[in-house]
Amino acid sequence: QKEVEQDPGPLSVPEGAIVSLNCTYSNSAFQYFMWYRQYSRKGPELLMYTYSSGNKEDGRFTAQVDKSSKYISLFIRDSQPSDSATYLCATIAGGTSYGKLTFGQGTILTVHP
């Protein structure tokens, strides 16, 4: 079992839809949670960074963390064609694993006009 599981999709939605992207993790040592967006042939771009359970909102994006169920989500409201990309969830454990990201497989999202 991978430490971080993410449905690779692909996911195709119409413009304006609400998109829900999800990951589960197995290691209780994971303390920090990120969502990255990666366009084709580009490096990942940090979208959201959270530490505690709960919601964090930034514009059209909302990150949700539930540590009790080891579940993390990213919601995109009013999705746009420019949101079409691969979305990667990532986590970091504390202690000796300082800084080492563990990525999910990535979900390919297409928002069509």
**Which one among 24, 53, 105, 110 touches other proteins, defined by CB under 8 A?**
105
**Which one among 18, 51, 52, 78 touches other proteins, defined by CB under 8 A?**
51
| Residue whose token pair is 């609400």 | 18
Record the tokens describing residue 29, joined without a space: 């040592």
Task: Name which of residues 5 to 44 contact other proteins (CB under 8 A).
Answer: 32, 34, 36, 41-44
CA distance 5 to 64: 16
CB of 16 to other proteins, least distance (A): 27
Q: Taking contact as CB under 8 A, which single stretch among the options 21-29, 59-67, 75-83, 101-109 is the one that binds other proteins? A: 101-109
Contact predicate 87/21, CB 8 Å: yes
CA distance 69 to 50: 16
CB of 51 to other proteins, least distance (A): 7
Record the tokens describing residue 70, joined without a space: 């080891």
- Tell me: does residue 106 bind other proteins (CB under 8 A): yes
Positive or negative CA dihedral for 50, 104, 80, 84? positive
Nearer to other proteins, 36 or 64 (CB): 36
